[in-house]
Chains A and B, each alone.
Chain A
């Protein structure tokens, strides 16, 4: 079916008419986070109870939406236009909570127990507009996440979807490129390259066909914004890509998605089918004469494939080895043809810029970083989840206001940004604005937007070792500095963690790191030493303590610590004994416990669960 302007309006009008027939709309977050907390059970139960007619005389629409953001408190259930937000639904007592949902539906009765509680436990927040986690955000690309049913194209159109595509198709392709360039949009995948500039060079490149690619390979551990976008609003990505294809002069797009994201693959496939059915993809899109289609390519779980040239090798059916970028992919990319690769989040921004104009986009953000950025805020922060803020907001604002501070009110130690390519930032720099250039100046980077908060119980040397191990596994092995150098760095850091570090190791690491940065072939190797160099820069003292005093101040490195119970504090509650994975804690109720050191694996579980501070790690 061809979609003209009238058709687009008709879909939207039909949707609004259908929606107006409902007395109540209940949105259940079915992002991956909430699903793992039991959201599907809540959905099924509520549907089951509602379908037993007689319980409600009202017309109720219960829908599954994409990620709402506040994953820590999932499953999340939202009523109407976010007027009421319930958290932790069905976690403790599913029957009671379903009854509470019914009471809200039928009698507008608010269940206090399910509302978000503030830090002081007295203030309760009714709507998401008031909760600091939400009120501190500016949602653009996430604006429909958690609002629409991602498996229903009518909802997307009903909320203004594909309007920008229609507008773009009336424009001259070069005009679109200019507009994107003027908006100042920079690539959200990490590099921060100017999107409009990239589009222009691809448009001007010689050779046909041309390709556009959405990079949804998100291999960064600790980052899940691309996943949430693909799962929560797949049409937004498609619309951006179609507009991009039209501007660049391409008729074929690829979405490269990790194989670990089955739900994203499913929802994107469904979105592509629906878009084709309604004439937004395929031949002569919206009767414009422009042909464009999109295929999904499932990645194979290789971190390096997020790098553009490696990603291209992978789509071509080879192993994902990068090549030197003497010639840009915009000139010679997929099968040697001009190819424009942008990250999923970058594509998602495009329809909004077309719709509201470049001046609007320019007005958001900081000096040289325009617009908003989606971050996944995880680690030791109270409100873990997904946030979108204007560029230039300070780290402190993100971690302590939106994130609600550190779990268990422990002391903040560092925040890791940019995944394995980034670095760790200590407390003294919390005031810096978060944008591409400020983070790079600190030896970290924006990356795709993972933000991992660490507290005093995290050892920075161990963190450095973690990233090195990750990178050894993920290096494709093509160039020597990365393949061998990172391995040597890991050996040194591992030795330090085991208590066998020697004088000069730290300096050796710095030297080796700089050499790898200078001589590696692709972005993976060039940035691989960042986590080590930044931890040495800001936490040199912690390295020194490991090397010289053979101690781990955070109590993480197993060879350097012992776990014991302080008899004067132990109340004999047995909590640690129940949780101990190796049953090495001797315990009788109300008697002081003891740890069998020969069995103890020093996992620290007892320390974490003890409510009386009776476990000592030294």
Chain B
């Protein structure tokens, strides 16, 4: 099993096992594994004594939670209004083409996951791209290729 009970127990204990903090626990799980593994949801539901359906309702409702494993780096292309107007869709297309993936999917080598986000709140520097904790403002399609090279970890693309 990928999700180990020790780590999960630490997360549950952090919130005193209070089921009101279900979303917070799921977010912590996602930070640990970069997605929410099914085993983790099952374990959590057992410990908190809540039905599986309730946890799945929450996992599927919130956009920051993902049930699909993610790649080593997640590229977030912002498609907020300012980014949309200043060329965000073109940046997203460039990433899709260069990485050969659809939005929401992970490259075959497991290196990149491509996702969109509705606003990162740095609209003055639109269009914005975030990879891990790093933001790239005023991105152009040509920059997009540079961003991929910066994070390719020496692997062939």
Contact = CB atoms under 8 A, between A and B. Distances in A.
B27 A298 contact: yes
Given A221-B80, A301-B63, A302-B61, A605 B140 contact: yes
Given A36-B136, A384-B124, A300 B86 contact: no
Given A222-B123, A224-B121, A380-B85, A300 B62 contact: yes
Interface stretch (A146-154, A313-321, A361-369, A433-441): A313-321
B122 A579 contact: no
B119 A221 contact: yes
Interface stretch (B6-14, B15-23, B147-155): B15-23
A181 interface: no
Interface in B103-122: 117-122
Interface residues of A, number: 66
B65 to A, nearest CB: 6
Contacts of B124: 33, 71-72, 224, 376-378, 384-386
Contacts of B136: 36
Interface in B84-100: 84-87, 90, 93-94, 97
B81 A222 contact: yes
Given A32-B121, A224-B122, A317-B58, A458 B85 contact: yes
A33 B118 contact: no
Contacts of B135: 32, 35-36
Interface in A19-36: 32-33, 35-36
A219 B80 CA distance: 10
Contact of A32 (B19, B23, B118, B122): B122
A87 to B, nearest CB: 13
Contact of B81 (A297, A452, A608): A452
B77 interface: no
Nearest to B136: A36
B20 A316 contact: yes
B57 interface: yes
B144 interface: yes
A293 B125 CA distance: 36
Interface in A484-533: none
Nearest to A455: B85
Contacts of A303: 118
B62 A581 contact: no
A74 B63 CA distance: 30
A319 B141 contact: no
A288 to B, nearest CB: 29
B82 interface: yes
B81 A319 contact: no
B37 interface: no
Contacts of B1: none
A355 interface: no
Interface in A70-90: 71-72, 74
B128 interface: yes
Interface stretch (A45-53, A107-115, A236-244, A258-266): A258-266
Contacts of A314: 23
B96 to A, nearest CB: 11
B81 A416 contact: yes
B21 A317 contact: yes
Nearest to B119: A221
A258 B21 CA distance: 15
A597 to B, nearest CB: 17
Contact of A33 (B23, B83, B137): B137
A6 to B, nearest CB: 37
B80 A319 contact: no
Interface stretch (A56-64, A274-282, A469-477, A536-544): A469-477
A33 B78 CA distance: 14
Contact of A452 (B54, B58, B85, B87): B85
Contact of B140 (A378, A452, A474, A579): A579
A594 to B, nearest CB: 19
B133 interface: yes
Contacts of A605: 87, 90, 140-141
Contacts of A467: 81
B93 A36 contact: no
Contacts of B19: 317
A147 B81 CA distance: 29
Contacts of A318: 54, 57-58
Interface string B27-49: 10000000000000000000000
A604 interface: yes
Contact of B82 (A221, A259, A261, A298): A221
B24 interface: yes
Contacts of A385: 124
A386 B124 CA distance: 8
A604 B84 CA distance: 13
B57 A603 contact: no
Contacts of B75: none
A294 B157 CA distance: 47
A380 B20 CA distance: 43
Given A224-B119, A317-B22, 13 more contacts: A32-B121, A35-B135, A36-B122, A36-B125, A72-B124, A260-B119, A300-B58, A314-B23, A316-B20, A467-B81, A579-B140, A581-B142, A605-B141
Interface of B: 19-24, 27, 54, 57-58, 61-65, 79-87, 90, 93-94, 97, 117-126, 128, 133-137, 140-142, 144-145
23 contacts: A32-B135, A33-B122, A219-B118, A221-B118, A221-B119, A222-B80, A258-B121, A260-B119, A298-B24, A300-B63, A302-B63, A317-B20, A317-B22, A317-B23, A319-B62, A379-B82, A380-B86, A466-B81, A476-B61, A581-B90, A581-B97, A581-B141, A582-B97
